[in-house]
Structures are given as structure tokens and as C-alpha cells.
Chain A
């Protein structure tokens, strides 16, 4: 009888250990995917901001070419550098710091669940976290009095990334960083919705210029201008940085709203996955992380479009 009891106890103990090990493995896998999703979203966001600059610079060139063609200027610089009118280098650097703060935080969570002995980021991660932290502490992120929450959030996230002992579990770290993570994410979301119409406006501004050229071509070439009109349409469609994501029949430039929406959904999924890590069991976390990956992939699909 004693042997049987002992055997049952042993079996239950092994089952508990196996369950615990399975739960830990699931948590590690989910946090690893959270990290992967956060990096994918940051990459897509970077590409979106670069698309704002591309549309801005291309539009400046088209205006120059248009003025040259009309004879209002003799100057024509085919290869000169562009001075961005919307997002300058400094403004881009600030937004990169916001995205770095998010990815460094996700990297740090991963070290908390995968390493028992040394929970620090690797040397490159620590160096980047140190740079972003110093940038924010030196008021590099903002000197706007009204935006101090965003700056404080970047400092909190990178403080965590640099800290070796502050949190003993990813769950507690996630709970503690929910607010600063939300601050940074919502700042990026707000800007995406304001930059989307700028891209559309730049692309659509080319249409009346091409229309004018098509009218002038018809006056000079008659029916042969049919070819110019077709070429004008090709140029207009190609000028849209999000042309490949535009639904069939939609106007050039309209894809930027869709892109901004997809990015915002992916950014929001980062916040939701973090909340699930802080509050839910592994099942809830898995669902939130799967949602993040799906939305990040949807936003990432833009990269192929932008690479052309």
C-alpha cells in the first residue's frame, strides 16, 4: 500500500514538473514571438516615415520639372539632394528613438524569460539602450514642455533595458511598463494618421501637372498624344509609394490611409500583447501574440512595395 502511495505521489510530481516546464516553454515561445512582432512593427513604421520623405522629395522634384517645362525657371537639378519639407533628419532621429525604446524593451523581456543567470541584453543592445537613454535624458526626444510624458516613457523603457536586476519576472516587468509603452505607441499612432494625408497629397499633386502636359501634347501631336496620356497614367500610378497596396480602382495616394491604419493596428497589438503578458495566463498571451504577429506581418508586407 505504501509503495502504491509513493508511486502515485511520484507520478503526480512528475506531471506537475512536466506541466510547469510546458508552461515555461510556452511563455518563452510567446515572449520570443512578442519580440519578433515588436521588431517587425518598428521596421514597418520606419519604412512608413521614409515613405513620407520619399513622397516629399519626389514631389519637390516634380514641381521643379514642371516649372522648368513651363519656362518659369531655367534651373533644373536632376540629381541634387532634397531638403525634406515635412520630416527633417532630426525629426526622423527622434522617431527612431521611440521605436528603439519599444524594441529594446521587447528584447529585454526576452532575456528575462530565457536567461536565468545573466538577464542583461547583449553588448550591442546595451550600447543602443545607453544611447537612446542618454538621448532622452538630454531632452533629445523633445524640448516641448507638453510632451514630457513621452520623454519620460522612453527613459523608463530604456532604464529597464539597461537594468540587470530590477525585475525577477517578465510578467512584473510587463505590468510596470504598460503605461510608458502606451505613451510611446500612442504618440507614433497619432503621427501616422497625420502623415498619411501628406503622402496622398504629394502623389495626387502630380495629376494636374500630368494633365497639363497631356493637353499640351495633344495640341502638338494630335491623336499621337494618346500615347502620352497612357504614359502620364503610368507615371502617376508609379509615383505612389503604396501603389501595390492600393485596392483595385482606388485613387493613387489613397493607399497611405490604409497603410497608416494597418500600422496603427500593429502598434496597438504591441500594447495589447504586453497587457496580456502582464495579466493573462499563457492562453491569453498566446492569442494576443498571434494577433500581434498577424498585424505586424500585414504592416510588414509594405516593405516589399517600398523596396521597389
Chain B
């Protein structure tokens, strides 16, 4: 409920995940390979689920709940790093894959500051 530093970090991370999602969407439009589309959907779903958790956490109204939620999010940041490594196999365009990986790496570094 306030614009303090940890909440701003969560919102900045949401922005990065959103940028990564938009590039994944562009990548999905460029292929009709079923296997790749399944993987892109999986990646998008994981990013989206993580984004929902970030938004839920920033809307929390209790110090203790907020501390628990951010601790859980920091633990899950490892999953983002795994996604970052998988991207090259899913996204054909090397430049797009590098950009998405960059957004995710930045998101992981933001979450580490919580």
C-alpha cells in the first residue's frame, strides 16, 4: 500500500517480465512448430504466474505477509535463471533470445536486492 523501495523493486521486476513476455509472444508468432509453441507456452505461463505473485505481493497490506511473500519470490528467482538458459532452444531468433535472457537476468538481480 505504499511506494517504498521493496514494492518499487517488485514493480520494476514486473516491468521486466512483461517485456520478456512480449518478446516471447513475438517469437510465438514466427513459428508453427508444435514442439516450440508448447515450450513457448510453458515459458510464458511460468513468467505470467511469477508476475501474478509479484503483483499479489506488492498489494499485500501486512508487514509479516509481505516478508514471507518476498522470501518465497527470492527462492523462485532460481527458476527464472533456468528459463533464461532454456530460451535459446525455444526462440529461433538469436537476438530476441538474448534480449529475453537479458530481461530475466535483470529481474533475477532485482529480486536479489529484496
Which residues of A approach B to under 8 Å, CB–CB? 56, 59, 63, 66, 70, 85-88, 90-91, 94, 141-147, 149-150, 187, 190-191, 194-195, 197-198, 200-202, 204-205, 207-209, 211-212, 215-216, 218-219
Q: Give Cα distance in the complex from A205 to B37, angstroms.
A: 12
B113 contacts chain A at the CB level, 8 A cutoff: no
- Quick check: B55 and A86 within 8 Å, CB to CB? yes
- Quick check: A144 and B1 within 8 Å, CB to CB? yes
Pick the residue among B21, B25, B40, B56 that contacts A86 (CB under 8 A).
B56
> Which residues of chain B are near A142, meaning CB under 8 Å?
1-2, 61-62
Q: Give Cα distance in the complex from A209 to B44, angstroms.
A: 10
Q: Which secondary structure characterizes the binding site on chain A?
A: helix
Closest to A143 in B: B62
Closest to A98 in B: B1
Q: Give Cα distance in the complex from A94 to B1, angstroms.
A: 10
B78 contacts chain A at the CB level, 8 A cutoff: no
19 residue pairs from A and B, CB less than 8 Å apart: A56-B52, A70-B38, A85-B53, A86-B56, A91-B56, A94-B61, A144-B1, A147-B4, A150-B1, A197-B14, A197-B15, A198-B52, A204-B25, A208-B24, A208-B41, A211-B28, A211-B29, A211-B32, A212-B34
Q: Give Cα distance in the complex from A87 to B3, angstroms.
A: 18
20 more A-B residue pairs beyond the given contacts A85-B56, A215-B32, with a C-beta to C-beta distance below 8 A: A85-B52, A85-B53, A86-B59, A91-B61, A142-B2, A142-B61, A144-B1, A144-B2, A147-B2, A190-B3, A194-B14, A202-B48, A204-B21, A208-B37, A208-B40, A211-B29, A211-B32, A211-B37, A212-B38, A212-B41
> Which residues of chain B are near A212, meaning CB under 8 Å?
34, 37-38, 41
> Which residues of chain B are near A94, meaning CB under 8 Å?
1, 61
> Which residues of chain A are near B18, meaning CB under 8 Å?
197, 200-201
Q: Give Cα distance in the complex from A146 to B62, angstroms.
A: 10
> Which residues of chain B are near A87, meaning CB under 8 Å?
56, 59
> Which residues of chain B are near A191, meaning CB under 8 Å?
59
Cβ contacts B24-47/A at 8 Å (1 or 0 each) = 110011001010011011001100
**Chain B residues touching A, range:** 35 or more
B66 contacts chain A at the CB level, 8 A cutoff: yes
Q: Give Cα distance in the complex from A197 to B58, angstroms.
A: 14
> Which residues of chain A are near B4, meaning CB under 8 Å?
146-147
Q: Give Cα distance in the complex from A208 to B22, angstroms.
A: 11
- Quick check: B29 and A147 within 8 Å, CB to CB? no
Closest to B10 in A: A194
